[in-house]
Each structure stands twice: as structure tokens, then as C-alpha cells.
Amino acid sequence: MINKYKHISFDLDGTLIHTMPEYRHRVVPVVIKQLGGNIADEFVIDRFWFESGRSEIIKNHFNLNPDKFWELFHIIDTPEQRSAHTQAYEDAEPTFRKLKDLGKTISIITGAPRKIAQIEIKKLNGAPHDFYFSIADSEFSEKPDPSSFHHTLEQLCLKPEETVYVGNSSEDAYYAKNTGVDFIYLNRKEHKFDLKEYATAIIHSLDELFA
């Protein structure tokens, strides 16, 4: 499945790292309540967590100013709290080691703030990778804007056609499509995915990358 690619790039949250669902269903309502917003149902929280256009969801479904929401969210969503509610998927570390044995370049591109991303990457137990990039702490727009992916490719001196992105959400699918790279959808069974036509392959474990 990956033989033709030099570069295997990964999303982080929900792809390599699992955040317990109860965490998002606790933290997001706290932010909404403190800012005086409202929420119709818990499904919107899942949409906010996994889909693209989060600021639109905040504005249209939480009835809040996105800038104020993010400011408070990043105060409440501390690295310590996130760390206590996250763990690496069992297939993540072995996959990275197998990819390096095959001579692949590995990157991680995440929308998570750097302080969160660094804690989560540590949970991969030293799994080898060549580059990671936190979009939230950069000048680039959030996924699915492709500018951060193009930046990653430039840093690694690689081309889109040499690259595949592995992710778990519609946001990741759009991100790969906009960049011009292939996309492998990893179904972790956490939420609905409606963009199967964007996926070069659909897998249920990272072990399937080597099939």
C-alpha cells in the first residue's frame, strides 16, 4: 500500500493518539457555559472535535465568538489535563519503526498547539520521525488550508506525488486533497466519515499500511 511513497505523513489526534471521548464532552461544554453560549446536542461536540470549519461551528452552533472561545479553550485545555486523558494507539509506535526500517520519511502535521502536540508525541515512546509541525503555533491557516502541508514538503525537500497523508477525519481528507497528496483514511470508529471518495484506501489499523 505504501511502496510507491517516499513520505508518509500523519495527523496526530485520533490517528496516532486517542483522547478519551468523555474529555471533549466535559471540556467543550465548560467553555460554552462560561462564555454564555449554548449547544443543541452532544453530536455537535463530536463535529467540533473532528471536522473542519471549527470556527463556523463555534459561531453557528455554540452562538459564540470564535476568538473568545479559543482563548478560553486553550486556558482550560491544559497540557496536564490533555495528557491525563490521552494515550497512544498500540499500532502507532511499531508502525513508525517499521516505516523507518523501510527507509521512509515520516512527518506529523497537527492542528494542536505545540504544547499539546509535544506531550502527545512523547506518548509515542520515542517512535522515530523526521519532522513534526504544529499549525496552531504558526502563521499558517488551520486545516484544510494546504499552506502548512506545502511548508512541510518544502522543509523535507519532497513532492506531493511522493507523499501520502494518513488521517482519521474529513478535515484530514480535505487537507490532503487541497495539497495534492494521496489520503489514507484510518477508521478509528470514533465518528462518521462521508468522504470515502477522497480516500486512496480505507484502513482500520496502521498495520494495514504494510499489506
The predicted-structure confidence for 67-91, as pLDDT tens digits, reads as follows 999 999 999 999 999 999 999 999 9
pLDDT exceeds cutoff 90 at 53:
no
Average pLDDT for residues 128-153, to the nearest whole number? 96
Tell me what pLDDT residue 147 has. 98
Please give the Cα distance from 189 to 71 (Å, whole number). 30
In 3D space, the residue among 5, 8, 2, 7 whose CA is nearest the CA of residue 166 turns out to be 8
Domain definitions of the chain by residue range? 7-19+86-210, 21-84
**Tens digits of residue pLDDT in 90-135:** 999 999 999 999 999 999 999 999 999 999 999 999 999 999 999 9
Q: Is 103 left (phi over 0), alpha (psi -120 to 50) or beta?
A: left
Residue 194 DSSP label: -
Compute CA 175 distance to the chain's CA centroid, rounded to the nearest angstrom.
10
pLDDT, tens digit, 9 for 90 and up, residues 60-69:
999 999 999 9
Task: Give the list of residues 6+ apart from residue 97 with CB closer than 8 angstroms, or none.
Answer: 127, 128
What is the three-state SS of 89-126? CCCHHHHHHHHHHCCCEEEEEECCCHHHHHHHHHCCCC
Specify the fold of 7-19+86-210. Answer: Rossmann fold (3.40.50)
